[in-house]
A and B are shown apart, each in its own frame.
Chain A
Amino acid sequence: MQILIARKLPERRRCSLLAGFFALALALLLALAHGDAWAGPVEGSPRRGGTLILGMPADPSTLNCGIESSQIVAMVTSNIYNGLLHLDEGSNPHPDLAQSWDISPDGLVYTFQLRDNVKWHDGQPLTSADVKFSFENLVGKYNARGREAYRNIKAIETPNATTVKISLKKVYSPFLEILTAHDGCIMPKHIYEIGDVFKNPRNNDQPIGSGPFKFKEWQKGSHITLVRNENYFKKGRPFLDSVIYRIIPNAATRAIAFETGEINAIFASNSFPYQHVDRLKKLKNAVIKDIGSPSLIGVNFNLKGNPILAKKEVRVAIAHAIDKKFVVEKGLRAVGKVIDSVIPPGIPWAYNADVPKYPFDLKKANALLDEAGHARGAGGTRFALKLSFEAGNDNAERPVQILREQLKAAGIDIKLERLERSVMLEKIFQKYDFDLWFGPLTTRGHPALGTARLYATSSITGQPFTNFTRYSNPKVDQLFEQAVAATKKADMVKAYYEVQEVLMRDLPTIPVADRLQLNIIKDQFRGALTSTETYERMDEIWWVKGTALKDGDFERE
């Protein structure tokens, strides 16, 4: 085709076209090379067979990913169901059910081309009608995480069985982020169009998906077994015969079960027994790796509830009084990195390293507090504050003890308040009854999802994990809106850089650490721990003792 056109063109034009052609080829090659760096292409020469047994802390509430999007549900359902696409570590989209997609120049219309060979586990074909149904009646309606984004959908058209055209009400740059199996799982219309979705027996028993593994059994409180889908649309995948999720509520027991070989892997932040990390690190025949979504662990101020903390000088003084390095090394057992911005370096494209910083400087902290009119009283105490945190949360339990000592040195008397999770959700996030709250906040791969909810004025909603410091700054609001509406990535990045500068000047939160998300797996399994949410990609994992496969026998990506 290219040559055919070229023949009709004069010499000069032909040359430029040829050059263009080469440029295109080069771009393609580069794109492929980039793909190589990503998890997509499977690691090494995979083999077929084997069973991976995974340790998990609790039963999922359901296996219906259309109504529930918690990590514990997605750990299982993402391997039974598919999304339109996958995301890599840099949040770049890669094909899953959609083999290609196209975004209109105004950023409002997304057109997806579905694979045409996808079948549900019961043999029915998966079509654009299933996608439309899922977004309109399931994930779009019930998924708590993606709800805001799905509400932005104006219309979904299905011109044919393999084309889905989604038009948005307004530009929403992170739209592709919610289309993975985790937040945008595609469910079978023919199963869910009848009756009450919450009471559908397929929710827990024999769910029908399209994914690499099929449901076999769920013994409540004990284990869930998935087996290979022989008719998976990706040729030769999955490599494992089965995946078993073993439910082990106690973290110490999870570590022991890994040592004794009763389980082969522990994935995801909700499962890893951090208290035992030193022991697990010493194990031979096991690979331990940091992957997972970035998080913000820090000290959050109640800006409206406490007049002392409403003063910026006091917040700055507290920031100078904290030795973050010590907190991370001793409190978090070095399982984390010190951070200076509310957007962690785990989102490399948005992270701004050049923000106002508050290095550990006790003298300065004391001086600032003196200046602010909080001289030391009897016993050297200036004032008392309550530091609240979640009971049993390993990200908080030890660090708060250290923080208490560090702040005591600055004359601040800290009373620790240990709250059970449900109580914490109500007390901190609904009633704003706190001075300082320390703990982890998932930022996910995009500041529009993970950061805006914490600092935008419109996010002061009294919902858990929204803007609970009640920080409000029109400039920041405007920047967040600009970023989401940006059609060019450079504009979005610029807005987020500025957001971080303003936020770190105003200091509603003192960022302390980005928690490493540790995963561990026996080294007789390969192909794992390659993408951010490895537990969603069990079809990439293979067992070294399986039967060898030839290169053409399976799809690499």
Chain B
Amino acid sequence: MPILTFVLRRLLHALPLLVCVIVFNFFLIHLAPGDPIQALVGEFPAPAAYLVEMRKLFGLDQPLYIQMLLYIRNILSGDLGFSFYYRQPVLNVIMDRVPATLQLMLPALVFSSAVGILLGILSARRPYSFADNAISTLSLFGYCVPAFWFGQMLMAAFAIELGWLPSQGISTVGVDLSGSALVLDRAAHLVLPFTALAIRHLAVNARMMRSSMLEVAYEDFVTVARAKGLHEKDVITRHMVPNALMPVVTIIGVDVGFLFTGSVLVETVFGWPGIGRLMYESIVKRDYPVLMGNFLMTTALVVAVNLLVDLIYLWLDPRVKYQK
């Protein structure tokens, strides 16, 4: 089982990485100015004794290295800590938000990857043709346009002017929906944030796929394939695409991490109750445990996705072999 050994070894390597990330993030967060207890107290002054009590309650009165050791000990026993702001276990706070993020991120990821790759292939077939120029221009736009601005423009057009779609949220509140009505309602709420989120990744994937395709187009094996008299369709699908996909798969792997946490702006503009917004809010509130929990989960996710990407290489490229 060489693959299994490979996976286990990679997971083992990930452990010290995770510990480093925890330690690094811990000090990074605590280096930033701002005090969680003051952020908690809000607009009105609280007596000093109250602040001392709160600090003690959250363990903030301990020296920083002790706080960190305690934190690592808790994590090893599966406890991500207790949120200052929400006054709930961090795991609950994060898990409350994960479904919404997945609901937005997975369609965006699948769509932007699939369509992006397709568009890339399409424009690479005849470089500098009308189709290529059109796709290139559009993907340049998609890459450059800020998601929050684009989101607001979408909202102005489709929610206010045309009134076709809801402007924000994940579902209509105040009505009990079920069955197809529920699915339709969710889908209608998804369209605008999905578009705002997917467009950038779609553009990146299309650009990447295009240049990658053009690179392999002059490789010997492509010339050989053509010389063999293969149909152009087969040359593209069987020889060029699998080779051109390699860098794009890497990019998509990186995107997962970004999509998981990087949709802060889109989630904020569209009031989407996901992880990105939680992360932003916990920075503002200096809710260290939630922030750390978020970082940790994202790190774990990136490690896992990288592993997955490596496995996909194995499948895509027969030359890649994972030896002991």
- Whether A222 sits at the interface, judged by CB under 8 Å, is yes
Contact assessment for A425 and B35 in the assembled complex, using a CB-CB cutoff below 8 Å: yes
Residue from A62, A425, A459 having most chain B Cβ neighbours under 10 A? A425
- Whether B107 sits at the interface, judged by CB under 8 Å, is no
B43 interface neighbour in A51, A59, A198, A442, Cβ under 8 Å: A442
- Whether A41 sits at the interface, judged by CB under 8 Å, is no
Contact with B along A27-42 (1 / 0, CB 8 A): 0000000000000000
Tell me the dominant secondary structure on chain B's binding face. loop
- Whether B273 sits at the interface, judged by CB under 8 Å, is yes
How many Å lie between the Cα of A246 and that of B173 in the bound state? 8
- CB neighbours (8 Å) of B163 from chain A are 260
Question: B residues 70-120 with Cβ under 8 Å of A?
Answer: 85-88, 93, 96-97, 100
The distance from the CB of A465 to the nearest CB of chain B, in whole angstroms, is 5
B168 interface neighbour in A151, A198, A253, Cβ under 8 Å: A253
How many Å lie between the Cα of A62 and that of B287 in the bound state? 14
Question: A residues 303-331 with Cβ under 8 Å of B?
Answer: none
Contact assessment for A244 and B174 in the assembled complex, using a CB-CB cutoff below 8 Å: yes
Contact assessment for A62 and B86 in the assembled complex, using a CB-CB cutoff below 8 Å: yes
- Whether B322 sits at the interface, judged by CB under 8 Å, is no
A422 interface neighbour in B39, B47, B100, Cβ under 8 Å: B39
Contact with A along B29-63 (1 / 0, CB 8 A): 00001111011111111111011000001000000
Whether A246 touches B169, Cβ cut-off 8 Å, given contacts A61-B85, A70-B42, A253-B269, is: yes
Contact assessment for B39 and A425 in the assembled complex, using a CB-CB cutoff below 8 Å: yes
Whether A260 touches B273, Cβ cut-off 8 Å, given contacts A62-B87, A426-B38, is: no
- Whether A12 sits at the interface, judged by CB under 8 Å, is no
- CB neighbours (8 Å) of A158 from chain B are none
- CB neighbours (8 Å) of B57 from chain A are 198
A144 interface neighbour in B42, B85, B284, B285, Cβ under 8 Å: B42
Residue from B42, B86, B270 having most chain A Cβ neighbours under 10 A? B42
Contact assessment for B44 and A222 in the assembled complex, using a CB-CB cutoff below 8 Å: no
B174 interface neighbour in A51, A59, A430, A442, Cβ under 8 Å: A51
- CB neighbours (8 Å) of A204 from chain B are 86-88
Contact assessment for B174 and A225 in the assembled complex, using a CB-CB cutoff below 8 Å: yes
Contact assessment for B160 and A250 in the assembled complex, using a CB-CB cutoff below 8 Å: no
Whether A422 touches B45, Cβ cut-off 8 Å, given contacts A198-B87, A221-B278, A253-B270, is: no
- Whether A102 sits at the interface, judged by CB under 8 Å, is no
Residue from A199, A225, A247, A256 having most chain B Cβ neighbours under 10 A? A256
The distance from the CB of A431 to the nearest CB of chain B, in whole angstroms, is 10
Question: A residues 448-482 with Cβ under 8 Å of B?
Answer: 453, 459, 461-466
**Interface CB pairs A-B, < 8 A, 6:** A144-B46, A199-B87, A244-B173, A422-B36, A425-B34, A425-B35
Binding site for A on B (CB under 8 A): 33-36, 38-48, 50-51, 57, 85-88, 93, 96-97, 100, 152, 155-156, 159-160, 163, 166-171, 173-174, 268-274, 277-278, 281, 284-286
